[in-house]
Amino acid sequence: MSDLEIWIVIIALAIATALTRSSFWLVGHKVTIPPRVQEMLRYAPSCALAAIIAPDLLLDGAGTVHLDLGNARLIAGIASVAWFAWRRRMLETIIFGMLIFTALRLLHLYQ
């Protein structure tokens, strides 16, 4: 793509972000959402977070699912859940998880 085309793409991306993020904040009070739908939407944030991380934990670069011990991300992810459940400290968990992940990767234990 040419420089101009890339800038057009960047503007298009900015518009897409603004449309999805802000539109309902602007017009939301004029729209009534049925209570049933509202109830269901309460689960949206947790489902979205799960949908964001699951592919990172389970898929490799080629899009193949890895549910085995060879998957360093999955192992480090599970270890982090355990660590967080025990310690309840987020930053500590992130550092712990990164150390496990890096150790597994460097040692090539599972490859």
Which of 34, 35, 62, 85: binder of other proteins (CB under 8 A)? 85
Residue 65 CB neighbours (<10 A)? 11
Enter the DSSP assignment of 27: H
The type of residue at 76 is A
Residue 69 or 81: which CB sits closer to other proteins?
81
Nearer to other proteins by C-beta: 49 or 69?
A: 49
Question: For residues 35 and 41, what is the distance between their CA atoms, to the nearest angstrom?
Answer: 10
Note whether 7 binds other proteins by CB under 8 A: yes
- Say whether residue 86 binds other proteins (CB under 8 A): no
Q: Using the rule CB under 8 A, is 81 a contact of other proteins?
A: yes
